[in-house]
Amino acid sequence: MKHLRKRVLVTGGAGFLGSHLCDRLVERGEDVLCVDNYFTGQKKNIEHLLGKPNFELLRHDITFPLYVEVDEIYNLACPASPIHYQFDPVQTTKTSVHGAINMLGLAKRTKAKIFQASTSEVYGDPTIHPQTEDYWGHVNPIGYRSCYDEGKRCAETLFFDYHRQHRLHIKVARIFNTYGPRMHPNDGRVISNFIVQAIRGEPITIYGNGGQTRSFCYVSDMIDAFFDLMATPEDITGPMNLGNPGEYSILELAQTILKMTCSPSEIVFKPLPPDDPLQRQPDISFAKKILEWKPKINLQEGLEKTIRYFQNGHLP
């Protein structure tokens, strides 16, 4: 029997990126199954969708198999900030590796197209700048960040082996820093950290001298790219860098947020944690060529929307 609507599974659907993806899928009229174990995802991120006839929520940990019927899978499940993924590093690795095996097995059985939310962290502390997809990375396999970095690298291996061995229809995206409303206020990420500290008038904590650089992509631009990549022909597998190539120093970001929030906060400097990348900037030539995609929202506009979200009662 042919289904009129696509049945789309989103793992990690109550998280930051996952909830925005669920919003857009529901708007498109797809039948959406949102799966989350609420380790970092929050039910409040998707509670506005609970009454929709084409939205379903399931509490489940993808390190255990899931038996459902689906046409597409977006595998976003995994804590993505150091504070959260280092809390239980063994579970973080299991989520990336066992979770990938379970979702790939589901895709194989249902013949579903499957999207893997990989990460710029597969490049580690890069020795080339900006990072291109053919760069293999510079990763410490036994460090504090390894549970996430190596877990995601292994997940990519599994996706490509399932593609070669079982002809699975895969899409692998390497996601660079993304921000916007519904960021977890306690996740330790630089934008949410700075905004929360600035609004509360607390010291802005910078690790290192603030000279390290990052690139920040607003969430709506990232979700656009997810859809564009998922719609590509079967021979386009990725991995594909997705992010905003605009590069800013951490000190520059802190000063911008202080100005935009009119905060009296002072900036304080603390030691840099081990294996923290000094530079992180995507080369998105591949995405521009294949998807004809590039970010539309500049940092100022995106920060305004994100600051407004935290000012409207979303502080921890």
The residues that bridge with 100 in the sheet, in sequence order, are none
* Catalytic site includes residue 148: yes
Q: Give CA–CA dist 157/143, Å, rounded.
A: 20
Q: Give CA–CA dist 92/100, Å, rounded.
A: 12
Enter the tokens of residue 202.
Answer: 């607390």
Query: Which one of the listed residues 74, 85, 123, 148 is annotated catalytic?
Result: 148
Enumerate residues 6+ apart whose C-beta is below 8 A from 42: 14, 15, 184
Identity of residue 224: D
The answer to whether the CB of 17 falls within 8 A of the CB of 219 is yes
Alpha helices by DSSP H, listed for the chain, are: 16-27, 82-85, 89-110, 146-166, 190-200, 219-230, 250-261, 285-291, 299-311
**Secondary structure element (H or E) that encloses residue 206, with its range:** strand 204-207
The answer to whether the CB of 169 falls within 8 A of the CB of 231 is no
Q: Give CA–CA dist 178/230, Å, rounded.
A: 19
What residues are labeled active site? 148
